[in-house]
Amino acid sequence: MAPWLLFGFVAAGALSVLVSPRLIERHLGGRGLWPVFKAAAFGVPLPLCSCGVIPVAASLRRSGASRGATVAFLIATPQDGVDSILVSFSLLGWVFAIYRPIAALVSGLAGGALTSALCPERPDDAATGPTATDGPAGDQGHGKLRRVLSHAFGTLPRDIGKPLLGGLVVAALISALVPKDYFAPYLGGGVLAMVIMLLIGVPVYVCATASVPVAAALVLEGGVSPGAALVFLMTGPATNAATIATIWRVLGRRTALIYLAAVAAGALAAGLTLDYILGMVQVRPAPAMPWMIPATVKHVSAVALLAILARAVVVPVLARRRRRGQPEPAAGTRLLVGGMTCSHCATSVRRALVGCPGVTSAEVDLGTGTAIVMGEDLDIEALCSAVRQLGYQAKAAVAADQPGSQPS
């Protein structure tokens, strides 16, 4: 898995630089099914989690994207990513790796089309607020390469390091402790197996990449059907309690219910269809072409991957410990921000705050859930409102609040 995941990190880093928010916004405006299709197609390869995709979707909505296009993007994006596709290929084979992004695309299209049909646009849905920016001007050549490598081996490992290590540990425990095909009588196929995995996947948050080793262990060792594992891989990354609550608040009750129904129905249909296809072609999920990569490359890649993940997990912890002994900034307005779970969330919050009147700079600490805003004549309610428009919670910190407190 390690060589494919490292390559996936690089590909995800390139996408993060080449596919800018402004480019996405430019293609997702307008009405009809074509923007819905483009929204789902744009979203499938992007390495965004279910929380990180919300501020992007909120920006799309403010920039004129229809409800249908926004929902299609919200459904398709967190289910997969270029890094997740490559890990799926390495652990579960080419059929699974091809079928999974197709399932994400189709479920996104279905959810977007249903939203367009059942939630017509209103006159007050016109675009409001600032649009996204492409990033630093004049950032070309070596600057872009640095950003690709920074995202590939810095930002992305920080976001998925802990869940990926956790997923590898769980997968190892399943392989070592669970008897061969132990779950086959219960989750070996059929609608009931799909529904059970659906009920497990909907309320919890799992990373699209980190969950693949667990799914592979369940399929290859535990006897879980590939379709049931796919249901979990589709619903876990795409839905969780916080995401559904945010969509309810930002896009409305009806849209949130359509979103949830589209993900659930799409996952069940995709799981049943995958089991049928695999049975028809007589193919079982298995690691793809293990002979393709030399053993030396695998070993070196595994060591490099562990070093990258260890750095991503340990360095932020050490940085937070160092900050605990330092005094709080004497100036600046401190906000408590709830709902951030990855560096993309923190970056989105910082950009929203910097765009507010009077703000000269803003620093967001993902670990403590705080933001320090510098500037003159700051309107605290406007700052909080800018953060809430992205789907997060925000309030001004008071003396009694400690770092890490969550907004009420």
User: What pLDDT shows up at residue 150?
Assistant: 85
Residues in the chain: 408
pLDDT at residue number 330: 53
- The residues near 172 (Cβ < 8 Å, ≥ 6 apart) are 217
How far out from the chain centre does Cα 152 lie? 15
Name the CATH architecture for the domain at 333-396. 2-Layer Sandwich (3.30)
Instruction: Return the pLDDT at 209.
Output: 83
What pLDDT does residue 66 have? 82
The β-bridge partners of 65 are 29, 30
Domain ranges of the chain: 2-281, 333-396
Q: 380-387: long-range contacts at Cβ-Cβ below 8 A with a sequence spacing of 24 or more?
A: 380/333, 380/335, 382/356, 382/357, 383/333, 383/335, 383/353, 383/356, 383/359, 384/335, 386/352, 386/353, 386/355, 386/356, 387/335, 387/337, 387/349, 387/352, 387/353
Task: Supply the pLDDT for residue 228.
Answer: 93
Cβ-Cβ contacts under 8 Å for 302 (sequence gap 6 or more):
2
Residue 197, token pair as written in the block? 């995995």
DSSP annotation string for 173-234: HHHHHSPTTTTHHHHSSSHHHHHHHHHHHTTS---TTTHHHHHHHHHHTT---HHHHHHHHH
pLDDT at 276: 92
In terms of Cβ atoms closer than 10 Å to its own Cβ (0-12, 13-18, 19+), residue 18 is exposed
Predicted confidence at residue 125, as pLDDT, reads: 53
pLDDT value of residue 305: 85
Could you read off the pLDDT tens digit of each residue along the chain, which spans 408 residues? 678 788 778 887 887 777 766 666 676 766 778 889 988 998 888 877 766 777 777 777 777 778 888 899 999 988 888 888 888 888 888 888 899 999 999 999 999 999 988 887 765 554 444 444 444 444 555 678 888 888 788 887 887 777 778 888 888 888 888 888 888 888 888 899 999 999 988 877 778 888 888 899 999 888 899 999 999 999 988 887 767 877 887 778 888 899 999 999 999 999 999 999 988 888 788 776 666 677 788 888 888 888 888 888 787 777 667 766 555 555 678 899 987 877 778 888 888 898 888 888 888 888 788 899 988 888 889 999 888 888 788 888 875 455 444 554
163-196 b/e with 16+ CB inside 10 Å = b? Answer: bbbbbbebbeebbeeeeeebbeeebebeeebbeb
Question: Which pLDDT score is estimated for 104?
Answer: 94
Helix (H, G, I), strand (E, B) or coil at 132: coil
